[in-house]
């Protein structure tokens, strides 16, 4: 089985509108790619991404949804409250030290987070 990890640099996402960002992400997920995105979406964009994901599940027989996780090397072990505040502050400077992993739920069963590592648990065939 071939597995594609697609890296999306911050420069490729940053100039896009929220709608285009989400469309681009879901389009690549639809190609069964696991995305490693530099930076992260805003909280509202994450909610929009979930909404669009639900619409796509409703329309497609094959698409089951996404697995999503955000990793920040500097803040991965921070409490969530501080992490959220830091995330909002980081929006002003682009938050390029953060990595967002998004994969199709048909391939990625679970993403486990840990302060020092991440684990992608894949679905067995």
Partner 1 sequence: MVIKIIKNFVKRVFYNLFSIKRDIKLGFYGPPNAGKTSLANRLCKDWLGEELGKVSKIPHETREIQIKEKVEVKYNGKTLTLKLIDTPGIATKIDYEDFVKFGLSKKEAKTRAKEATKGVIESIKWLDDMDAVIVVLDATQNPYSQVNITIIGNLVARKIPVLIVANKIDLRKANIKRMESAFPEYDVVGLSAKFGKNLEEFYESLFKLVKKV
Q: Which two tokens stand for residue 52?
A: 């669009």
Q: Look at residues 66, 39, 62 and name the one whose alpha carbon lies nearest to residue 52.
A: 66
Among 3-11, 20-28, 30-38, 45-53, the segment contacting partner 1 (CB under 8 A) = 45-53
Residue with tokens 């391939």: 107
Q: Exactly one of 15, 17, 31, 44 binds partner 1 (CB under 8 A); which one?
A: 44
Cα distances from 113 to residues 47, 109, 118, in angstroms, run 20, 13, 5
Q: Exactly one of 50, 96, 97, 120 binds partner 1 (CB under 8 A); which one?
A: 50
Interface positions with partner 1 (CB under 8 A) = 42-44, 46-47, 50-51, 53-55, 57-58, 64-70, 79-85, 87-88, 105, 111-113
């Amino acid at each position: 089985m071939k597995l594609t990890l697609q890296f999306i640099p911050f420069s490729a996402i940053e100039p896009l509108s929220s709608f285009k960002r989400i469309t681009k992400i879901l389009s690549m997920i639809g190609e069964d790619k696991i995305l490693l995105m530099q930076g992260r979406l805003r909280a509202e964009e994450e909610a929009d991404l979930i909404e669009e994901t639900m619409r796509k599940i409703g329309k497609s027989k094959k698409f089951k949804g996404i697995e999503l996780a955000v990793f920040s090397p500097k803040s991965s072990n921070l409490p969530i409250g501080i992490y959220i505040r830091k995330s909002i502050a980081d929006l002003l400077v682009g938050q390029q030290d953060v990595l967002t992993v998004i994969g199709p739920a048909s391939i990625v069963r679970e993403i486990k987070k840990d302060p020092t590592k991440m684990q992608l648990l894949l679905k067995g065939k």
